[in-house]
Structure 1
Amino acid sequence: MNKIETTISTTNRRNFIKNAVLASLGFSILSSCNTEDLFCKQEAVEGIIPDPNDYLSLPPGFSYKIISQSGDIMNDGFYVPGRPDGMGTFPGDSGDIVVIVRNHENSPSPLSNSPFGSKNELLQNISNNQLYDAGGMAQPGLGGTTTIVYNENTKKVEQQYLSLAGTYRNCAGGVTPWGSWLSCEEDVTKQGGNTEKDHGYVFEVPASNKGLVNPEPIIAMGRFHHEAVAVDPNTSIVYMTEDRPDGLFYRFIPNVPENLNKGGKLQVLSIKDQPKMDTRNWEKTTFKRNVKTQAIWLDINSPLAPEDDLRYRGYKNGAARFARGEGIWFGNNELFFACTNGGPGKWGQIFRYKLSPDEGKETKDSISASIELYKESTDRGALNMCDNLTIAPWGDLMVCEDNGVCNRILQIKKDGSIRTFGININSDSEFAGIVFSPSGKTLFVNLQENGHTLAITGPWNSIS
C-alpha cells in the first residue's frame, strides 16, 4: 500500500453540500454513530469535509499523511509491529526533528503483528537479554515500543527502530519531564509455560536512546492492568489509570525525583468522607457531574500483587472505583483522564483532578486536592467510549474514541462544548496515541487495527 497524503480542501464543499441533504432532521442528530445510522459514514457533520480517499475526514484546510505502517522494514532490519497504541513526542537534535516513541499492544500471538517476521525468523538477530520475556526464544512478547525520528519540515520519517522488546500488550503510557516515555503493560500474565516472567509493569524508554533499552520493569509502580500515566513536572509524581471495569486511580511518589527505579510509595485515590465511592454511575448517579469533590490518597502495600488484587484491596480500604481508566494528560496543576465505559449508558466519562498545593506531602492542614466528573456522555452521538486523550497547545482536550463502530477524534473546548475534529471512514479501528509535536504544528495519531501512524497538519488557529 502506498503512503497516502491528502488535503481536505474547500473544493470538496460541493460533496459536503450534497451529503448534507441527509441532514434534513438537523445537525443535532448527525453526530450519532451506530450501525443503524448513515450520518457518520456519509459525514454529514458540521465543519467536517468528506475525504475523497475514503480514509480520514477532517475540517477544511487540514491534511493527513500515513508516516508509518505495520510490516514496513525499519532501520534496524526489523518490521514495524502491528497495533500501534499510545505515543509520546520529544524534541530532536534540531528544530525540525521530532522523536516519537510508540507503543504496540501485542501479545505473543498472532505473529502477523510481530517485529520479527511472520514466523519470528528475525529472532536470531536479537539477544535474549534484550527481550524482557523471550518466551524461550520461541514465543517472545511482541509488545514493546518503536521509536520514530520524524522531520516536520520535510514530513518524512528519517529513522525508525525497536526501542523496547519482549513485553506484553503495551497499551498507553505517558511522557516524563526528563525526556523519556513510560510504556505500560495492560496484561497481568504470570510466569509459566512459555512465559518466562510476570507481566503487568511499567517500563521506561529514554527518547534519546538509539536502539533497544534494557527492559527493566519499575516494580514499585505496581503490577496491574496499567493503561496510561501522567507525570507532574514539579514533583515527578506519577498518576496512573487502570483499564478494568472496577479499576482504581493510582499515584506513585518516587523516593528520588526523576529516578523511578529507586522505589517509592504507591497510593490509591479515595473520596474524602465517602469511602468506596462508585464513580461509574451504572446503577444510579452516585457521583454527580461538575461538582468538585475533595480527594485523599491511601497507601497500598504489596505492589507486586501476585494475585492481581490491588484494585480489590484498595477498594476494600476505601478507594474510589472507576470504569476502565484510559488516557490521561497533565495540564496546569491539573490532569484529565478518561473512563471508557463509565456513565449510565456506558458511553464514557472524563474526570478532572486538581492538585493540592501540598501534593504528595499533604498534612491534616493541607488544602485538599479535588476530583470532578468533567464530562459524562448521555448521548453516544456526542461522546462514544473515550480512550486516549491529550491537551492541545491552546488548552482544549483532543479525545480518541474506541467503540468498534464509528470512531472519531473529538475536540472538547475549554467552555465544555464538543465538536468533531476527525472521522475514521476507512475502518472500524479505534484512534490511539493522540499527541502533538513539541512545536504544536503536527498532531500524531494511530489507527490501531490499520497499523497506521498518521501526521495531521493544518490551520490550528482556525479551530482553537
Structure 2
Amino acid sequence: MVREFLSLAGTVRNCAGGPTPWNSWITCEETADRAGGTLMQNHGYNFDVPATAQPRLAQAVALKAMGRFRHEAVAVDPKTDIVYQTEDLGDSAIYRFIPKTPGKLAAGGRLQALVVRDSFSLDTRNWKEQFVKVGAKLAVSWVDLDEVESPKNDLRLQAQAKGAAKFARGEGMWWGSGDVYFACTNGGKKQHGQIWKHTPATETLELTAEPNDPAVIDRADNLTVAPWGDLVLCEDGPGEQFLSGITPKGGFYKIARNAVSNSEFAGATFSPDSTTLFVNIQRQGLTLAITGPWRR
C-alpha cells in the first residue's frame, strides 16, 4: 500500500456501498440507530464520498431521500444514474432511488421498492416453499414510498404493504453489463444464500443461483462483477470462508480461502486496470491485493 487516509467521519457501521459513474463511492450505514446516548443524530443513511488521491475529509451529508434503513450496498446504472439498494434484514426489500438531477443525490429524488408483478408481496426467500425457481424470470415493477426517513425503521414493511417483494438479507450488489446483481445471504430452503439478477432494460428479475449446499456457496455476502463477466462472491458463513466465483453459465469455483481465521471476506473490487482484486478480511482488518493473470 502506498498510503491511506481518512475520507469520511461521523457515520456508524459503514458497510459495502458501491462505486458511482461520477467518480465517488457511496458508503452505507448498516444500522437504523436513533439519536440518544453517544449518538448526536439519527443514523441509517447513505453518504457520497468523492474518490481522490489527495488526503481529504469529505463533508458527511446524509442522503436522506434515499431512505433510512439498514443499508448494505448500492449499484448505479451508468446510463440513468438510478441507484439500486439492498437492505440487510431477514425480511428486506430491494429499493431504487431516482435522483431529480443525475449524479446529484443530495438534491433529492424518488425512492421506490421492487414489486413482482401479479405476486403481491412475494416471499422470494424460499425458506418454507420454493416460490421462485432458479432460472425463472419474473416481471417486475416499482412502487413509490412516502415516509422514507422511517422513524420506526419500518420502510420495508411500508413497501410490502404496497406489494413489494420480500428478500432474505439483501447484501452485496454490483452493476455489470446492463444488469444489477445482488446476494441474499440466507435465502433458500437451507439458508445458504441466493444470487439474483435484475435487468432494468426488460424489468425482469431472475434467481440465478440457490445451491442450498455450503460446499458450493455458504452465505454469499459482498460481491463484484469481474472484468471477464464472472461474479466474485465473499462468503460470510459459520465455517471456513472462501472467495468464490460464478460463471455466466452457472459454474461455481473457488478463488481463495481465508487461512487466517473464520472471518468473512468483504469489499471485493477490482483495480481500474483489471489486474488486481482487492478484498478485506473483516475481523482482522486486513486488505489483500490479489493479482492475476485471471483468465487462467
The reply to whether TM is greater than 0.5 is yes
Q: Deviations over 1:40-87 (max 9, x none)?
A: xxxxxxxxxxxxxxxxxxxxxxxxxxxxxxxxxxxxxxxxxxxxxxxx
- Match of 1:214, SS? coil
Question: Are 2:23 and 1:182 equivalent residues in the alignment?
Answer: no
Checking the alignment, whether the CA contact within 8 Å between 1:408 and 1:422 is kept in structure 2 is yes
CA contact (8 A) 2:6 2:55 kept: no
Runs (4+) of structure 1 exceeding 6 A deviation are none
Is 1:333 matched with 2:178?
yes
CA-CA distance at 1:195 after TM superposition: 1.1
For 2:157 and 2:255, how far apart are their aligned partners in 1? 38
Matched, 1:158 2:5: no
Bigger RCO of structures 1 and 2 (CA < 8 A, at least 6 apart): 1
Structure 1 residue corresponding to 2:12, chosen from 168, 192, 204: 168
Written as runs of structure 1 = structure 2, the 5 A alignment for 1:2-41 is none
- Name the residue aligned to 1:63: none
Match in the other structure for 1:271: 116
- 8 Å contact 1:345–1:377 — kept in the other structure? no
AA matched with 1:412 = I
What's the CA shift for 1:211?
1.5
Q: Does 1:207 align with 2:41?
A: no
How is 1:4-403 mapped onto 2 (pairs within 5 angstroms)? 157-208=1-52, 210-356=55-201, 368-403=202-237
CA root-mean-square deviation:
0.9
Which of these two proteins has the greater Rg computed from alpha carbons?
Answer: 1
- Tell me which residue corresponds to 1:461: 295
1:440 paired with 2:274, answer yes
- The TM-score, its normalising length taken from structure 2, stands at 0.98
Q: Does 1:417 align with 2:262?
A: no
Q: Which residue of 2 aligns with 1:102?
A: none
Shift of 1:166: 1.7
Conservation of the 8 A alpha-carbon contact between 1:246 and 1:321: yes
Which secondary structure does the structure 2 equivalent of 1:171 belong to? coil
Q: Select the structure that is richer in helix.
A: 1
TM-score, normalization by structure 1: 0.63
Partner Cα distance (1:404, 1:291) in 2 = 29
Secondary structure of the 1:160 match is coil
Deviation at 1:302, TM superposition (A): 1.2
In the TM superposition, what whole-angstrom CA distance separates every residue of 1:306-356 from its partner, at most 9, and x where no partner exists? 111101110111000000000011011111100000000000000000113
Q: What is the deviation of 1:193? A: 2.1
Once the 2 structures are TM-superposed, how far is the Cα of residue 461 of structure 1 from its aligned partner?
A: 2.1
Name 1:150's counterpart in structure 2: none
Letter in 2 for 1:235: T
Give the distance between the partners of 1:388 and 1:456, measured in 2 at CA. Answer: 17
Using the alignment, how far apart are the partners of 1:369 and 1:301 within structure 2? 22
Please give the alpha-carbon distance, in whole angstroms, between the structure 2 residues aligned to 1:230 and 1:321: 19
Structure 2: 5+ residue stretches without partners? none
Q: Give the letter aligned to residue 398 of structure 1.
A: V
Per the TM alignment, residue 413 of structure 1 is displaced from its structure 2 partner at its CA by 1.0
- Letter matched to residue 109 of structure 2: G
Question: Secondary structure at 2:60's aligned position in 1?
Answer: coil
Q: Partners in 2 of 1:461 and 1:343 — Cα distance?
A: 31
